[in-house]
Amino acid sequence: MDTYDCDFFVVGAGSGGVRASRMAAARGASVIVAEGGALGGTCVNLGCIPKKLYSHAAHYAELFEESVGFGWAPHEPSFDWPKLKARRAAEIARLNGVYDNLLANAGVRLVRGWARLADAHTVVVRHESGAENRFTARHILLATGGRPQAPSGAGADSAVTSDDMFDLDPFPRRLVVVGGGYIACEFASIFAGLGSEVTLVHRGPRLLRGFDDEVAAFAAAEMQKKGLTLRLNAMVTSVRRLGGAQVVQLSDGATVEADTVLQATGRAAFTEGLGLEALGITLHADGTVPVDEHFNTVVPSVHAIGDLVGHKALTPVALAEAMVLVDRLFGDGTRPPLDYDTIATAVFTHPNIGTVGKSEERARKDHGDVRIFRAEFKALKHTLSDSTERTLMKIVVDAATDRVLGMHMVGADAGEVIQGFAVAVQAGLTKAQIDRTIGIHPTVAEEFVTMREPVR
């Protein structure tokens, strides 16, 4: 086929899909994007944005308490869950409109409906009415993201997923969270801060697999200081109804009553209904779509990015992958590939976790001889607040080259602190350069430039 309806057809108007659509259009491509759900994808609607808003909300209770140490005498605060939900919904609706305008202003045609691939150059979009339209495209991009794994096992029929947490009715006074990843830990922290009695149940011996061991253990200890109950090496064996409550029986012998049980045991790539098997695209064992280093599938005209391919399930990663792909398809192809080892991330537990680069364990495996610099302390703010919260900061250095392999932090605004250092780590920062940097006093971040002696 020599002519197509468009140069670029994008399936999914989440972060990666919208960025790819806009940037391709800016380079002169004719672009159509199909989306059957809310614009902005998981990040805007059910992930990063609403979760961070709720995290902000959850901090206020302890801020009211801490203010007493600074001379304030606040009135007894009360929390209005319906108001928070309404305010969040209004902000998300505004952002949905922003995404709509971004596409329109870029000259991208938005088609509302769910898409499937009929062949290597044809997409069929099924609308809410049931009607279907066919479109042909020179290139097709799959950017459908991921979604929570469906609850399974004991109590699955009454459990909720992370998608349900923003609009629970009523507010759960008692919450059981099942899982040990960042989503489980974040929601456990958020609802504990909002006033829920939270029990976090994880089948493994530690939280946050894949993160630095010391960081994960430190964060878990700090989370428990906030009133969260942590049960490791435990599983839900049964759930029964008792009035309006769920009685959760755990494998360690404990019994916990809950108003809501959240199963946050992982996310899966959203490939259902795309028609990939008919095109010869066989998924990985974990359900993600296989692509090469250029984000090509085995079908040359079909590409995939973001959570769908599973390199790192982070919004900025999807955005960056979109830029690399669009530059190759419609630009000069000079944009460098992503360095996944130096991508920074944050976990919005209470306190926050910020990390960039390699964990101590990964660094020892990859490089052998490493030097570890570490500081643990009570932040200046808490000398008057009477809070027992402590901060951990850690630098992992390659002993042979002095290059910084990883930087990690648990503490207030850890993500904000690590973001700045992430630029330097990506650029090849050395420990000597850190040592030559003068700190800003008094700040928490200055501790990173004052660590002189390795602890191991």
Q: Give dist(CA 366, CA 361) in Å, integer.
A: 9
Strand pairing class (114-119; 122-126): antiparallel
- Please give the structure tokens belonging to residue 131: 């009607």
Burial of 262 (0-12, 13-18, 19+ CB in 10 A): buried
Spell out the residues 6+ positions from residue 131 whose beta carbon is closer than 8 angstroms to its own: none
Q: Give dist(CA 273, CA 422) in Å, integer.
A: 38
Q: Give dist(CA 337, CA 453) in Å, integer.
A: 35
Angle between helices 182-194 and 213-225 (to 10 degrees): 20
For residue 260, the one-letter residue type is T
For residue 278, the one-letter residue type is A
Catalytic residue among 294, 303, 408, 441: 441
Selection from 21, 32, 39 nearest residue 94 by Cα: 39
CB 13 within 8 A of CB 39: yes
Residue 412 DSSP one-character state: T
- Write the Ramachandran bin of 44: left for phi over 0, alpha for psi from -120 to 50, otherwise beta: alpha
Residue 336 DSSP one-character state: P
User: Residues 434, 439, 440, 443: is their CA dihedral positive or negative?
Assistant: positive
Place of tokens 């964990």: 359
- What's the alpha-carbon Rg for the chain, to the nearest Å? 24
441 is catalytic: yes
Residue 130 DSSP one-character state: S
CB 11 within 8 A of CB 301: no
Selection from 217, 231, 185, 221 nearest residue 389 by Cα: 221
Cα 325 to Cα 155, 316, 362: the distances in Å are 43, 14, 29
- Please give the structure tokens belonging to residue 123: 């997409």
| Residues 183-220: b if buried by 16+ CB within 10 A, e if exposed | bbbbbbbbbbbbbbbbbbbbeeeebbeebbebbbbbbb
State the CB neighbour count (10 A cutoff) for residue 382: 17
Alpha helix stretches (DSSP H) within 68-152: 81-105
Q: Give dist(CA 236, CA 234) in Å, integer.
A: 7
Residues annotated as part of the active site: 441
